[in-house]
Amino acid sequence: MIKWGEIWEKSLRDLYVEAALKAIDDAGVDGIDAMYVGCMSSGLFVGQEHIGALLADYLGVTPVPGTRVESACASGGLAFRCGIMDVASGMNDIVLVGGVEKMTDVDGAGATFALATAADQEYEVYNGVTFPGLYALMARAHMERYGTTRKQLSMVSVKNHENGSKNPNAQYRMTLTTDQVENSVMVADPLTILDCSPITDGAAAVIICPLDKAAAIARKPVVKVSGSGHATDAIALHQRKDITWLGAVEKAAREAYAMAGVKPDDIDVAEVHDCFSIAEILTIEALGFAEKGRGGAVTEAGETAIGGRIPVNTSGGLKSKGHPVGATGVAQIVEVVEQLRGESGDRQVENARRGLTQNMGGTGASSVVHILEVQGLRGGVLSAASRLSGVRGQGLRYGSTSGQGQGRDLHGHTRRAVGARGRSALPHRRHRARRRRQDPVPDSRLPRR
């Protein structure tokens, strides 16, 4: 993982290329068929749009198609989902998914303006509200309705900074006390500055490929993506029935759990979207890790700490690790993969076999949930079939995931794996052309010349 923080000496393209090259190198591939980039607001942060083509160019992979994905702070998670669907459909075999944001090239007012574009401009932003204010409303409502305390909010930050202090790539590695959180500068009552995630420069990347291919080239344990869910809700907070409940998170989680065939109790470790301390409390309730209204109490009881019933945000979360908004969702995948491989050092969750990531935009108007599982050893390599896809990799620089499973596309045709070693990106394209001739598909899917 590249170090996150205020990285003055590197541009947006530098950050992305560094993370992408590390992912490609670790995955053992020397070419990609397509790439997806999660990025929320490069136009406002650095004045650069059209970054799908830009980053493909600076990575040196043109004419490979590059697609920019935007869903506010859920951009990275949604880019990952798009990459999964690309591979699972049989369209491409080796897909690079990255996330990037360069946020510190503007001042505080500029960053606030850019982030506020993820709220309802006509009903919320026009009237002066920003995200700290919106989440403060959610926090106050939760406190009034369920008895959530100021201390419980603080304990989210304390826990995540404790975890982040053990993450060498986290932006803020200092530990905190509840008194420090509560006595820090007030931003929007009851939220102080230490309840809020920071502004960050950073990038993350993974490689996605079919599961059989991942098993064949694996140099490290294969981790499959067994579930994926995506849902939306009203963007404006006042248009929701209950501002203390994240409906899109619940719906996305239900989809992911159903696809994976698991329940909340089957998850060993989770990375969730703690953009504010109250967000983690609301999220663990919507994911089924705590009963409605009990997220604060579960946190205070230590159930979400490493060693607890369901460790949450072992990376330090957005609060300590940082929150380069377009990269966060991909970085969550990376942390869970590290945990499932037993490579997280002092923040390792014992016997972690299945993990969950939850990434959301705005005040929960969009949410993406993924479930990942490490595979058992067989013949010296880790492999398994999946209905969806699998991931291999570690750290922000690693990761490949595998797609459809059993080497077949959605039409049932046998899928020929693109070579991992000794082939370049251009032969990948010739290989796909051969595959089209061998496996008949509807004429509508063939390229027109």
pLDDT for 16: 98
Cβ neighbours around 136 below 10 Å, total? 21
Amino acid of residue 35 = M
pTM of structure: 0.85
Pairing of strands 191-192, 269-271: unpaired
Q: What is the pLDDT along the chain (449 residues), one digit of tens a residue?
A: 899 999 999 999 999 999 999 999 888 888 999 999 999 999 999 999 999 999 999 999 999 999 999 999 999 999 999 999 999 999 999 999 999 999 999 999 999 999 999 999 999 999 999 999 999 999 999 999 999 999 999 999 999 999 999 999 999 999 999 999 999 999 999 999 999 999 999 999 999 999 989 888 878 888 899 999 999 999 999 999 999 999 999 999 999 999 999 999 999 999 999 999 999 999 999 999 999 999 999 999 999 999 999 999 999 999 999 999 999 999 999 999 999 999 999 999 999 999 999 999 999 999 999 999 998 643 222 222 333 444 433 232 233 333 333 333 333 333 333 222 222 233 333 333 333 333 333 333 333 33
Asked if residues 200 and 405 have their Cβ atoms less than 8 Å apart, the reply is no
**CA pair distance 84, 209, nearest whole angstrom:** 8
Q: Mind listing the domains of the chain with CATH numbers? A: 12-402 (3.40.47.10)
**Contact between residue 77 and residue 332 where contact means Cβ atoms under 8 Å apart:** yes
- Omega cis (within 30) before 63: yes
- Amino acid 72 reads A
> Shortest CA distance to 135 belongs to which of 368, 362, 366?
362
Q: For residue 68, what are its two tokens?
A: 């920019």
Please give the positions annotated as active site: 73, 323
Report which secondary-structure segment, H or E, holds 435: helix 425-438
Per-residue pLDDT at 376: 61
Is there a contact between 64 and 98 (Cβ–Cβ < 8 Å)?
no
Q: What would the DSSP string read from start to end of 352-404? A: --EEEEEEEETTTTEEEEEEEEEPPEETTEE----SSEEEE--TTT--EEE-S
pLDDT per position as a tens digit, 155-206: 999 999 999 999 999 999 999 999 999 999 999 999 999 999 999 999 999 9
